[in-house]
């Protein structure tokens, strides 16, 4: 997903160090207005592509979020936690492994995976 967002040149809106958009004032320069418009469009495109990649259940959950950064961070936390849990389970499985003389070594190794 990050590759697609980078190819579309909208990945920067997910950067946690990106400053928020300044408030609109009457004496904004044309450059400031153009930068604000580009950023708003890029956030919309980024949000749309993230939501498009989600399953129906997750789509319904995140549809109300307007900020792509919030959606990305929530998904990143969810999947990083799942991966850490799976890694802990596999590590524990290897630590508890004992060899049986009644089975071949290859059969026992295949049972681990």
pLDDT digits (tens, 9 = 90+) for 28-59: 888 888 989 999 999 999 999 999 999 999 89
113 token code pair: 């995976």
Q: What is the pLDDT of residues 52-84, one digit of tens each?
A: 999 999 899 899 989 999 999 999 888 877 777
Question: What is the dihedral angle through the alpha carbons of 87, 17, 33, 65, rounded to the nearest 10 degrees?
Answer: 40
Terminal-residue alpha carbon distance, the chain? 28
């Amino acid at each position: 997903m990050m590759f697609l967002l980078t190819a579309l040149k909208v990945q920067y809106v997910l950067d946690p160090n990106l400053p928020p958009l300044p408030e609109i004032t009457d004496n904004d320069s044309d450059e400031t207005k153009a930068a604000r418009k580009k950023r708003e469009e890029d956030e919309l495109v980024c949000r749309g592509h993230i939501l498009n990649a989600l399953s129906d259940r997750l789509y319904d959950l995140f549809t109300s979020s307007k900020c792509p950064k919030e959606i990305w961070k929530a998904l990143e936390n969810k999947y990083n936690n799942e991966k850490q849990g799976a890694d802990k389970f596999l590590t524990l499985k290897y630590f508890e492994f004992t060899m049986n003389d009644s089975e071949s070594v290859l059969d026992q190794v295949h049972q681990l995976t």
